[in-house]
Amino acid sequence: MDQQTREVFDAFVRARHTALLRYGTVLTGDPHAAADLVQDALERTGLAWARVQQKGDPEGYVRRVMANRSISTWRKLRRERLVAAPPEQSYEDPSTDDVLWSALARLPRRQRTVLVLRYYEDLSELEIARVLGIAPGTVKSQASKGIAALRAAIGEKESLWT
């Protein structure tokens, strides 16, 4: 990054830092995590500053980076389950898993694919639409129909789930 580009980037950071911190606090709910998020987003933006500046909306770019990084962090943390002490034995109930996998296998191919990508692979609706080459609305409708079908199938075997 040349001196003039660095000065333009520094001016942008000084002008928008407070607003970005507020945005980060809203995203994370924690001012310390927000500061880390802003720093990470600005570092990534600084590396791509010439390209970002040419597009004409550098703050929009930084906010998008912040949103994506926040979602990634949230997804990683959501999978963690902290407990005071580990359980003495692991949970395994293959009968309920078998019912679910069997019901999933009976779904139409597209519904099954959408549900697996959404809830097993943890992709967003837009990512699924891109992967499958379908509209986001189709992803939503297929997911809704698939979940309804699974609930109906599992409801028939409710004694296994209670």
Residue ranges per structural domain of the chain? 3-79, 94-155
State the pLDDT at residue 42.
Answer: 95
Fold exhibited by the domain 94-155: Arc Repressor Mutant, subunit A (1.10.10)
Query: Of 146, 87, 82, whose CA–CA distance to 113 is shortest?
Result: 146
Long-range contacts of 154-162 (CB under 8 A, 24+ apart): 154/99, 154/100, 154/103, 157/99, 160/95, 160/96, 160/99, 161/96, 161/99
Residue at 111: amino acid letter: Q
* Look-up of token digits 């309920």: 96
- 117 within 8 A of 146, measured Cβ to Cβ: no
pLDDT tens per residue across all 162 residues of the chain: 788 889 999 999 999 999 999 999 888 888 999 999 999 999 999 999 989 988 888 999 999 999 888 888 777 766 656 677 776 766 565 556 677 878 888 998 889 889 988 887 788 999 899 888 899 999 999 999 999 999 998 876 554 444
State the pLDDT at residue 90.
Answer: 64
State the pLDDT at residue 161.
Answer: 43
State the pLDDT at residue 159.
Answer: 41
